[in-house]
Amino acid sequence: MPKPVVLIAEELSPATVDALGPDFDIRHVDGTDRPALLAELAGADAILVRSATKVDAEAIAAAKQLRVIARAGVGLDNVDIKAATAAGVMVVNAPTSNIISAAELTVGHILSLARHIPAAHGALADGQWKRSKYTGVELYEKTIGIIGLGRIGALIAARMQAFGTNVIAYDPYITSARAQQLGVQPVSLEELLKQSDFITIHMPKTPETTGMISSEQLALMKPTAFIVNVARGGLIDEDALYQALQDHTIAGAGLDVFVSEPPAESPLLGLENIIVTPHLGASTDEAQEKAGVSVAKSVRLALSGELVPDAVNVAGGVIDPYVRPGIPLVEKLGRVFSGLAQHSPLTSVDVEVRGELVDYDVSVLKLSALKGIFGSVVSENVSYVNAPLLAEQRGVAVRLLTDPESPEYRNVITLRGALADGSQVSVSGTLTGTKQIEKIVEVNGYEVEVPFAEHLIVMLYTDRPGIVAVYGRELGDAGINIAGMQIARHVAGGTALSVLTVDSPVPSGLLASLSDSISADLLVEIDLSE
């Protein structure tokens, strides 16, 4: 079989290619050459980009077999996530690749502002010895205000505490326990602006945070205070900042990001009390290598059909190791469920998780169930990304139910659905033993315990003597070996359910003959082979 094609559209580190390994056909294209990009995308299973390549709706439409878009960095402004989701294409990035680099650049800006390092360098390089003009301030015992105490904010807090500073923070989502753990005093935004000698902002850019530091907030700051932004352009109102710096309402500012980049026409560049850098937050060798290696690993996972924790358009977030073995189990249950439904229209499905698993985030199991259910009944490429969308488009109500009580097994997962004809389908599974063997433990209300196999036959019929001999003989005559079998019933002489595992596929004609021979109410083969 041909290797999956991975298209690299921008310059990435050699370690990125090494991390992909030998299992892929790696091709290169200049992502800014639009015709060449669209042509190469036609045969690509994955594309790796940085910030220059636009992976928009047109590009995604040209890539009929594309399964993953990987951005070797944090931002995703150049990727149409909505179009990717609709097409079932996973979008991944490297959300933690640059956090150390961004935190260190922030500290660099703070130190440069405190000691006038860039201006002093410029003067001396120009032949001027102006020691008194560039007298600065110590960081020791100063108050550092951090707006946004996420991963980068926490790193900055630790680094600034080493200077003997007092660190305060504003973050509407931080708990007091977390702040205490970081050695940071949580305060309101107004208190932070009033108290801080240095302020650094680390918030995502959203409609709510755009321009969150404007004239009103800058007016609350000390005239000796400095403000730094290496997060996202636009968090600080640039017009208001220019006025505050020009009027010396505040002492100075450090910016690595701007509303428009490059900021060629910005009046901020003409001020003496500002330090600017050209969006260098992730511009270190280490950050670039981490980003490339991170997304390369995500591409490997995505192309092998596994769920990627860093996928930005897949619900569920980071998957706990205790939950992870349940993902393939539930996808198989979904395929069994679909086979039992015999392609009848589905109106609702419940994914019920019982046992110790409910102590963890199990939302990924709902995605896995939908991927399994729809994988064999729709023409589209079904992925963890678009499976919920496919259910919504077909009017299928989906619920995730949890219950800590599991009387029979440590954990058990059940898919239960209603069909348009009024009937119901259910199948349950679990993982048993130290080897975590995947087993079916219930089908349509009948208790069984059958290990998964590539070929399953499920049949419902009236319980009576000689039935096993009938289907055993017909399968034997056709050269099909029964590897395992279990029969379940509620009462003698009532309806019985048999689940068989066989070593090879069963021809459709033989299935029809078997059904007639035993007058089956249901007889289906479910193929779980890849």
Catalytic-residue membership of 232: yes
DSSP per-residue codes, 87-143 = TT-EEE--TTTTHHHHHHHHHHHHHHHHHTHHHHHHHHHTT---TTTT-----TTPE
Q: Rounded to a whole number, what is the largest CA-CA distance in the chain?
A: 106
Contacts of 337 (CB under 8 A, 6+ apart): 349, 369, 372, 373, 415, 417, 425, 426, 427
Q: For residue 320, what are the contacts with CB-CB under 8 A and spacing of at least 6?
A: 360, 361
How do beta strands 25-28 and 5-8 pair?
parallel
Count CA atoms within 13 Å of residue 145 on its CB side: 23
Please give the distance of CA 94 from its chain centroid, rounded to a whole number: 10
- Tell me whether residue 279 is one of the annotated catalytic residues: yes
SS3 426: strand
* Sign (positive or negative) of CA dihedral 112, 114, 119, 120: negative
Q: Say which residues have a Cβ less than 8 Å from residue 391's Cβ, sequence separation at least 6.
A: 349, 370, 374, 398
- Whether the ω angle into residue 262 lies within 30 degrees of 0, i.e. cis, is yes
- The alpha carbon of residue 352 and the mean position of all alpha carbons in its chain are separated, in whole angstroms, by 23
Residue 344: both structure tokens together: 């009848």
Quick one: which of 401, 409, 339, 402 has its CA closest to 374? 339
Instruction: Give the closest residue to 387 by CA, choosing from 466, 457, 331.
Output: 331
Sign of CA dihedral 71, 77, 79, 84: positive
Catalytic residue from among 67, 232, 416, 455: 232
Q: Which amino acid is at 159?
A: R
Helix, strand, or coil here: 409?
coil
- Integer CA distances (angstroms), 118 to 108, 114, 140, 263, in order: 11, 11, 21, 19
Residue with tokens 């499976």: 387
At 47 the three-state DSSP class reads: strand
Catalytic residue among 115, 151, 178, 279: 279
Closest listed residue to residue 90, CA positions, set 265, 339, 299 = 299
Please indicate whether residue 190 is annotated as part of the active site: no
CA distances from 2 to 44, 155, 203, 481 (A): 12, 45, 44, 32
Task: Tally the C-alpha atoms within 13 A of residue 415's C-alpha that lie toward its C-beta.
Answer: 32
Residue from 261, 286, 356, 408 carrying the catalytic annotation: 261
Task: Give the torsion sign (CA, 458, 463, 469, 471).
Answer: negative
Q: Give the active site residues.
A: 232, 261, 279
